Amino acid sequence: MTLPYWRLSAFYFCYFATLGSFLPFWSLYLKSQAFSADQIGELSACLLVTKIIAPQLFGWLADRSQLRMPWIRLSCLLSPLIFVGFLYQNQYHWYAIVSLGFSFFWNATLPQFEAATLFHLQNRLSQHYSRIRSWGSIGFIMAVIVVGRVVDYYGPEILPVIILAILVMNLLVALTIPEAGRQPVTDSARGLLEIVFRKHTLAFFVVYLLLQVAHGPYYVFFSVYLKTHHYTATETAWLWALGVAAEIILFMFAGALLKRFSLWALLCTTLVFSAIRWWMIACLVDVSHFLVIAQILHAASFGLAHVVAIQLLYAYFGHHHQSQGQALYSAISFGVGGMLGSLGSGYFWDKLGGDAVFLLAMCASIGASLIAAVCIPKGVMPTEK
């Protein structure tokens, strides 16, 4: 089957352009609507808590039907339809309801698309995945730069309209992508549980949960943190963009790293760099050169961590449980971990201050690195199966 390289890349581009419009500026938008730090943390958690349920439901439906694109298209359709609710009123409880509804379908999309991409690639995983996925990073960085300028000019109130337009583009791209084909079902549900409860699989999920807890303050309050240290929205946008640019470069060279090093070594390295990154943001935020270095470390804390995760998931869950493996990864790491990170950073932000919250993120990364070093098998190499 011919690989739909550019259509897969375009989907990643649009999906992460949405994220690039969302992550750096949504907290600024919520602050402009007069929400408190606690409320901002809670509303951000609403966007993440659905990752615990939605990917599991859609993963089960995809594995049961052995089709992924119909469910991806459905989630891409319902996401913008519900997102329109943000334009209706700006009451806290209404925003919480819309956030839960929108994010339920939006969060269901990416794990299934990752699985669809892996089925399209099959034995070309190491060769093509990082390059296709890098277009998501390109979409993110372009959105961050453009939206940063727009927000500086028009104010953050324009943000929902921008995000809605990109969501519609994402739907249009999804309609063009073919199904990779059905896979014969040979593994049982018991086989899935056996995979999940293996020691190294459980360790994998705990490590990535802690990694996302550590990212919580960054995703929710980094822009607010920079604003309190007198960075403009444009400067903030460029710092976000720099992090993703480093991520793109990492994706371009990920294949060479995967050929040379074990997944254990790469994972432990990225967790150590993650801890260093949060320490630099906490302690050296007013020194722009060090903040630049901290953003370059996004290549490790997210880019390399994600590449390793995809390889480990493919090795652990194989072909027939890949959708549910991706769903569990999304639910436990980005869902539970992201929710705990968002809630924790929201509750502690005013009480302890941003510096202390980022130091707590550093501690979470250190904990993850210790678990990975002890519990993740050292000899696992990237699979081409």
Position 212 scores a pLDDT of: 94
Q: Minimal CA–CA distance to 7: which of 206, 178, 256, 156?
A: 178
- Per-residue confidence (pLDDT) for residue 362, from 0 to 100: 97
Average pLDDT estimate for 233-256: 86
pLDDT at 277 over 90: yes
Structure tokens at 96: 């919480």
For residues 69-88, give the mean pLDDT: 94
Q: What is the pLDDT of residue 23?
A: 79
pLDDT at 385: 38
- In 3D, which of 48, 51, 71, 52 has the Cα closest to residue 61? 71
How many CA atoms lie within 13 Å of 265's alpha carbon, on the beta-carbon side? 10
DSSP letters for 25-87 = THHHHHHHTT--HHHHHHHHHHHHHGGGTHHHHHHHHHHHHT--HHHHHHHHHHHHHHHGGGG
In whole numbers, what is the pLDDT of the chain averaged over residues? 87
CA–CA distance, 223 with 20 (Å, rounded to integer)? 12
pLDDT of 360 strictly over 90? yes
User: How many angstroms separate the CA atoms of 216 and 345, rounded?
Assistant: 7
For the residues 107-136, what does the mean pLDDT come to? 79
* pLDDT exceeds cutoff 80 at 380: no
pLDDT at position 176 over 90: yes
Highest mean pLDDT out of 50-64, 177-191, 238-252 = 238-252
**Is the pLDDT reported for residue 20 higher than 80?**
yes
pLDDT at site 27: 84
pLDDT of 66 higher than 80: no
User: What's the whole-number mean pLDDT along residues 36-62?
Assistant: 84
Provide the pLDDT for residue 17.
Answer: 94
pLDDT of residue 125: 55
**How many residues comprise the chain?**
385
Position 124 scores a pLDDT of 60
pTM score of the predicted model: 0.76
The amino acid that residue 4 corresponds to is P
pLDDT recorded at residue 189: 47
Amino acid, single-letter form, for residue 146: V
Which positions ≥6 away from 107 have C-beta within 8 Å?
47, 48, 50, 51, 54, 55, 330, 334, 335
Place of tokens 């302690």: 283
* Residues 6+ away with beta carbon under 8 Å from 109: 15, 72, 75, 76, 79
Mean pLDDT of all residues in 272-290: 94
- Residues of the chain above pLDDT 70, percent: 94
Per DSSP, the three-state class of 225 is helix
Question: Could you give the domains of the chain?
Answer: 5-375 (1.20.1250.20)
Q: For 272, what's the count of Cα atoms within 13 Å in the CB-facing half-sphere?
A: 7
Among 72-81, 127-136, 166-175, which is the least confidently predicted range?
127-136
Over residues 215-231, mean pLDDT:
89
Is the pLDDT assigned to residue 122 strictly greater than 80?
A: no
Q: With bands split at pLDDT 50, 70 and 90, how would you rate the model's confidence at 104?
A: very high
Identify the pLDDT of residue 41. 83
How many contiguous H segments (helices) and E segments (strands) does the chain have? Answer: 18, 0
Asked which of 38-52, 116-130, 271-285, 317-331 is least confident by mean pLDDT, the reply is 116-130
24 near 236, Cβ under 8 Å?
A: yes
Reading phi first (left if > 0) and then psi (alpha if -120 to 50, else beta), residue 178 is in: beta
CA 219 to chain centre: 10
How far apart CA 25 and CA 28 sit, in angstroms, is 5
- 250, 71 contact by CB (below 8 A): no
Q: Is 319 a residue whose pLDDT tops 80?
A: no
Over residues 116-140, the mean pLDDT reads 77
Rounded Cα gap, residues 219 and 106, in angstroms: 17
Task: Give dist(CA 81, CA 79) in Å, integer.
Answer: 6
Give which of 50, 62, 193, 60 is closest to 117, Cα–Cα. Answer: 62
Question: Quick one: pLDDT band at residue 169, thresholds 50, 70, 90?
Answer: very high
| Residue 131 reports pLDDT greater than 90 | no
Give the burial string for 104-142 (b: 16+ CB within 10 Å, else e): bbbbbbbbbbbbbbbbbbeeebbebbbebbbbbbbbbbb
Confidence tier at 384 by pLDDT (50, 70, 90): very low
Burial class (CB in 10 A: 0-12, 13-18, 19+), 315: middle
